[in-house]
Amino acid sequence: MPLLVLPFPAIDPILFEIGPYALRWYALAYIAGIMLAWRYMRTLVLNDVLWGKMARPTPLDLDDFVVWGTFGIILGGRIGYVLFYNPAYYFQNPMESFAIWTGGMSFHGGFTGTVVAMILFARLRKLSIWRLFDLAGAAAPIGLFFGRIANFINAELWGRPTDVPWAVVFPGGGPEPRHPSQLYEAALEGVVLFLIIRILTHRFKMLQRPGFVAGAFAAGYGIARCIAELYRVPDAQIGYLSGFLTMGILLSLPMVLIGVAAMIWSSRKAPKQA
């Protein structure tokens, strides 16, 4: 064991309890991520410099959309986890599918659920779906950051055994020190991706090219997730699909391809003013 290995900080996953009700850090992370992402999206639509003469959703549109987006994240995330990561268990225990407070959410499922929510909302309000996609893509890394921090607090989704000096011994992960892969993902999918997209929106004014920011998010997330998967232990019930290939990588590669295609399409398309 390396001399500088870090013991896991024993953080209670329950923030506080009132009778039979408990507020978990996992739930708080979702609440904080959604609320901060919503506020950031409102800040973006109010900044005329970023949009030029381009039409965009109003703050009121975003206030209404946050409810749709929340349901898309939660329902899609849970359904995605049930279908992609542990279908056999939930087929045998169908009522457990609704126990979201126990953990078990899929980003790719939540992403799909949010996309469906955005499409339905944009059609209802007669909004440009690409501009709504761009706003969501610019703000999504905020939620990803808080979600990965919650994974670390829950001591779940830990990494592979390692001898790096910042390795952590996780409860339930055996005696071996492991990569804190949750923190790697918080850094890559949250901080780094947010800063890259921030440069695109504020330095290069890419919100004026519908679809580019959304594509950058999809491709950026896919690349970040594939990198992180190289250090993360896959879910025990799935394991490695082939060699180093995991379910996370398999689901992320199409995001990279779609994201790159969206950026190329957006770059070649002449900007519109409405």
148 is in an annotated binding site: yes
**34-80 confidence digits (pLDDT tens):** 999 999 999 999 999 999 988 999 999 999 999 999 999 999 999 98
Q: How large a percentage of the chain has pLDDT more than 90?
A: 68
Residues in Cβ contact with 66 at an 8 Å cutoff, skipping those fewer than 6 apart: 34, 38
Residues in Cβ contact with 12 at an 8 Å cutoff, skipping those fewer than 6 apart: none
pLDDT given at position 104? 75
pLDDT given at position 16? 78
CA distance 213 to 221: 12
8 A C-beta contact, residue 45 and residue 57: yes
Burial classification of residue 169, based on how many CB atoms lie within 10 Å of its CB (0-12 exposed, 13-18 middle, 19 or more buried): middle
Highest mean pLDDT among 94-98, 128-132, 155-159: 128-132
8 A C-beta contact, residue 260 and residue 215: yes
Reported confidence tier of residue 8, pLDDT bands at 50, 70, 90: confident
Look at residue 29 and tell me whether its pLDDT is greater than 60: yes
8 A C-beta contact, residue 84 and residue 106: yes
Mean pLDDT to the nearest integer, 81-91:
85
pLDDT given at position 89? 84
Identify which of 106, 108, 101 has the alpha carbon closest to the alpha carbon of residue 252.
108
Q: Where are the domains of the chain?
A: 21-268
**217-256 confidence digits (pLDDT tens):** 999 999 999 999 999 999 878 888 988 899 999 999 999 9
Identify which of 66, 45, 65, 48 has the alpha carbon closest to the alpha carbon of residue 56.
45
pTM for this prediction:
0.90
Look at residue 206 and tell me whether its pLDDT is greater than 90: yes
Three-class secondary structure of residue 219 per DSSP: helix
Range in 10-19, 102-111, 147-156 with the lowest mean pLDDT: 10-19
Look at residue 262 and tell me whether its pLDDT is greater than 90: yes
pLDDT given at position 243? 86
Reported confidence tier of residue 274, pLDDT bands at 50, 70, 90: very low
Look at residue 2 and tell me whether its pLDDT is greater than 70: no
Reported confidence tier of residue 273, pLDDT bands at 50, 70, 90: low
The stretches of 85-106 forming alpha helices (DSSP H) are 87-92
Look at residue 259 and tell me whether its pLDDT is greater than 70: yes
Look at residue 3 and tell me whether its pLDDT is greater than 60: no
Tokens 């390396």, located at residue: 2
Mean pLDDT to the nearest integer, 151-167:
92
Angle in degrees, CA 235, 236, 240, rounded to 5: 70
Bridge partners, 217 (sequence order): none
